[in-house]
Amino acid sequence: ELPRLKELGVTAIELLPVAQFPGTRNWGYDGTYPYAVQHSYGGLEGLQRLVDAGHALGLAVGLDVVHNHLGPEGNYAPQFGPYFSDDYRTPWGAALNFDGPGSDEVREFFISSAIFWMEAAHIDFLRLDAAHAILDAHNAVSFLEELSTRVAVAEVELGRTMRLIAETSLNDPRYVEPVESGGRGLDGQWNDDFHHALHSLLTGERDGYYIDYGDVGALARCYLDGYRLQGDYSEFYRRRHGRPSAHIEPSRMVVFSQNHDQVGNRPRSDRLSTLVDFESLKLAAAAVIFSPYIPLLFMGEEWGETAPFWFFVDHGDRGLVNAVREGRAREYASMGLGAGIADPGDPATYEDCKIDSTLQASGRGATLYRFYTELLQLRRSEPLLHALTRPEMRAETISANALAIHRQDDHGGLTLYLNFAEEAVEVRLPGGARLLHSSADAKWDGPGAGDLATRPFMQSRRSAMLIGYPASL
């Protein structure tokens, strides 16, 4: 798959956690041995071969790591020291002890495990799972601050680079602010707000955390400032949430229309391709890839994969399997969604999640694959798209469900028009505008891009359009 990903335009791959877990199949968040690579994946040698193959093609390789809890089965750490906190718990079990008695040694164990991935496997970046659940309020120096400082030292000693990227729902820019300014010193973070704003516009969903989104203003704020919630009142949290983030460089944020959490934690683990039409899939891709941030693709979205991504486990403890099954059934039954939920412990559930890469070879799968390839090529070739900055960026609301994102520098400008409406909208185009891309183009099985010289110019329903114009406009 690596040569195909390279040809698609991908520059890095990110793996779910590989720390040893019970059985042969798991999302990876039940790992209990942070230095051991899952045996059913090929162990450390298998990971090294994958990383070497990626590097040979110019692909960076990243790894999801869990520094907030350990899995419930095969977890013997408490018998060897105070690895767990007496003060905190996470949604997944006991929190790791990063600020209580004996916590210096616990910190050292996990910080050294992070450096191990760089040294032994040549991993290029780590995604720090649920960084907000790394709890250490009783220590003046946070675990993440110490981690980033130690990794920086190891980079010099090893002559390598390894970026640290937080997954967090706090909307807190301090994760990526410098240590000397009171931050954690990490290199980047996932931006869930961008996903929520985009998903709610595409699907119309307003349940749960989507209640704080659903209008183009929310997405516009994400383009311009990073987060939608920056200390604003949240209907979902029923309190103010987040901090101002406009000062954070776009190169420090990762955005997406789908990922393993956003798909897999839905009651039926359904991908975006099963929720919206083909035009909306193309619109979603353009919104992400033409953003000023680092775009993340979820495996198979580039051809419109429809396989679900269920939660699955292979615990040897039948009682634990039953507890997981019953717990998820209760959770979804409370939403009125008990029927049709896959059994996490059934091998068929795992098999049902496998993607089918042959779909990229024909039909709309092939069309969408070519579409993604062109988007990524445009991102590389257009300076204003790959700059990872906000040069004179501004947003314009065209209608209740359409907006334009304008970018300009001394050499010219680009405007991304995003129409989430179910009908065409009138767009006022500047003179000298040239069409760089339209998701409505007939070559993408769309209704047609239209003639930019036509007045009034009507942008098709559920479409994205990128135009360029001279610097004088």
Helices (H), 166-292: 192-203, 216-225, 260-264, 278-289
> CB within 8 A of 468, min separation 6: which ones?
382, 412, 413, 414, 433, 434, 436
Catalytic choice (129, 136, 187, 212): 129
Catalytic choice (167, 172, 279, 305): 167
Of 127, 211, 116, the residue nearest 163 (C-alpha): 127
Rounded Cα gap, residues 50 and 45, in angstroms: 9
Taking the CA atoms of residue 123, residue 14, residue 251 and residue 389 in that order, the dihedral angle to the nearest 10 degrees is 130
- Cβ atoms of residues 439 and 282 within 8 Å: yes
Of 190, 194, 196, 68, the residue nearest 125 (C-alpha): 190
| Chain centroid, CA 38 distance in Å | 23
**β-pair partners for 100:** none
Of 266, 271, 255, the residue nearest 368 (C-alpha): 271
Residue 129 annotated in active site: yes
**What is the three-class DSSP state of 199?**
helix
Rounded Cα gap, residues 291 and 401, in angstroms: 18
- Cβ atoms of residues 241 and 234 within 8 Å: yes
Residue 167 annotated in active site: yes
Strands ordered across the beta sheet of 402-409: 394-399, 402-409, 412-419, 463-469, 434-438
Phi and psi at residue 166, in whole multiples of 5°? -90, 140
- Cβ atoms of residues 197 and 209 within 8 Å: no
In the block, residue with structure tokens 């659903």: 214
**Which residues are tagged catalytic?**
129, 167
